[in-house]
Structure 1
Amino acid sequence: MRGRWTTAVLAGALVLTVAACSPAPEPVQPPPGVGLDYQLGGDYPLPEGAELVVRQWRDGEAEPDAYSVCYLNAFQTEAAEGHPDHASNWPPGTIWFEGEDPAWPGEHPVDISSNRQRRLAVEFLTARLEECVVRGFQAVELDNLDTWLRYPDAPFDRDDAVAYARLVVEEATSLGLAVAQKNTPELLDVARTEIGFGFAIVEECGEHDECQAFVDTYDGRVYAVEHTEEGLAAACAAIGDVAGVVLRDRELVTPDDPGYVHGTC
């Protein structure tokens, strides 16, 4: 339980006490099997049938009529200059600048190779998690969980990823947020038991034939985003009867953009 320090004068002495605050509510997991939309490019009205939505922590708002998930790039920096999560804004020593995401130039992995660095990174993320709560989100998605797999020369490994993810989940849970595993089937054996994830958001599980493993782990609380018609067909055939599946364009633009794509099973 979090609290705040207050002062009182008792018999001429200054006494510090902790005034208890109301504890955060227990996280509520999303309803299984519902339709979803993935709106990282900007908020817009939910398509018909969507009961779960993912939006950015920085400028997105929770949807009153849907289960709302707050997107946070917890394992990498953001590339855009001026973004609060740009590499220049993270605490010194928490970014591995030798690595750069080839798909997203300017994004660098968080260096989670020591307990001190992990805790500094979690401290940095806490303000973002608190902002998710203020904006009304019920859950958070932690992106780039798989960085240790994509940077073979990185100074961190699977154990470091598990330890860091567990710390972030503990902090989010203490604030009343449920936490989604993002991709990374390599961690399904510890995702719920050691880390504490409550559900999964997966991209291209149909494309890579990974959907069923997530459904088996999370009892249907899986929400799949595909970026090709082939991937959509595969995901729908594999898990469409028990899990949410949506087709979105790779840039995740809003409906007023000519590149906007949206489809469901």
Structure 2
Amino acid sequence: MRRLVVAALCLAVLAGCADSSAEPPPRTTAPAGDRWSPQQGAPWQWQLRGDLDLDVDVPVYDVDGQTTSAEQVAELHEKGRHVICYVSVGTYEDFRPDKDRFPADVLGKQLEDWSDERWLDIRRWDQLEPILAARFDQCRDKGFDAIEPDNVDAYANDSGFGLTADDQLTFNRRIADLAHARGLSVALKNDLDQVAALEPDFDFAVNEECMRYSECDELEPFLRAGKAVLHVEYELDPKDFCAEARKLGMSSMRKPLDLGPDRQPC
């Protein structure tokens, strides 16, 4: 979901947090040629709420990793679709079955507009990596082709922690490594200020409302590299953004904010 950026970022470092300057673990990734990634400009469906509509005639689906069954993923594959696994990696969600695995000291402030989520202290990789690895294992074991990790811009929000841009870069690259080690491609979700730095680490991008906020030029590193940008608008009429989206090579549509099955593709 789109997260509002706050003007002032907290700069205090909380006592007891892991050292964010520590070297990340060695990378053990599957070769890029062995991973599926969406084709630039390919139409897609993004559904995170409601009964899953398996009959949308598009080559790419992006669905919730926990609520979508292995049987549904297999059915989509039988229909010729590739399937992306949505996982929130930067927030605690109080409705997930693994919610009790998160220690209290990694939970930060509630997200604006999302009362059932709290920011995570992304510096605490020692605590978060086993939980997120288990979620990514579930995506792999259900047969998903890729992962959409959400909420990877905590440093630019009022998280309750003294997170820096470098903290976020380290965390996001670790997330990409987790996906690649399981043979899955991975999307960079929003986090537009770090696109240029992170494009080499990610296989495609997912973006919300770059047309509405005149931010689509920030995604050019992905587009120039021939990588897909899966894009949605919530407020704009398709006639007001589709022509430009097609010109840029993005995969664009309008969706309801609740990300139910309805869609208005470009």
TM category (shorter chain) comes to 0.7 to 0.9
Contact 1:212–1:239 (CA under 8 A) maintained in structure 2: no
- Match of residue 140 from structure 2: 133
In structure 2, distance between residues paired with 1:164 and 1:121: 10
Cα drift, residue 153 of structure 1 = 4.7
Structure 2 segments unaligned to the other structure (5+ residues): 1-28
Give yes or no for the alignment of 1:239 onto 2:242: no
Q: With structure 2 as the length reference, what TM-score do the two structures score?
A: 0.78
Task: Name the one with the larger helix percent.
Answer: 2
Matches within 5 A, 1:91-170: 91-96=103-108, 99-113=109-123, 117-151=124-158, 153-170=160-177
> What secondary structure, in the 3-state scheme, does the structure 2 residue paired with 1:105 have?
strand
Cα 1:215–1:233, aligned 2, differ >3 Å: closer, same or farther?
Answer: farther
Give yes or no for the alignment of 1:67 onto 2:71: no
Larger radius of gyration: 1
Matches within 5 A, 1:179-194: 179-193=186-200
* Partner AA of 2:132 in structure 1: L
In structure 1, distance between residues paired with 2:38 and 2:222: 15
Matches within 5 A, 1:189-204: 189-193=196-200, 196-204=201-209
Q: Alignment identity in percent? A: 24
Give yes or no for the alignment of 1:31 onto 2:44: no
* Partner AA of 1:77 in structure 2: Y
* Partner AA of 1:75 in structure 2: G
Q: With structure 1 as the length reference, what TM-score do the two structures score?
A: 0.78
> What secondary structure, in the 3-state scheme, does the structure 2 residue paired with 1:109 have?
strand
Cα drift, residue 209 of structure 1 = 1.6
- Match of residue 265 from structure 2: 264
- Name the structure, 1 or 2, with higher relative contact order (CA <8 Å, separation 6+): 2
What root-mean-square deviation, in Å, do the aligned CA atoms of Structure 1 and Structure 2 show?
A: 2.1
Contact 2:42–2:251 (CA under 8 A) maintained in structure 1: yes
Aligned length: 225
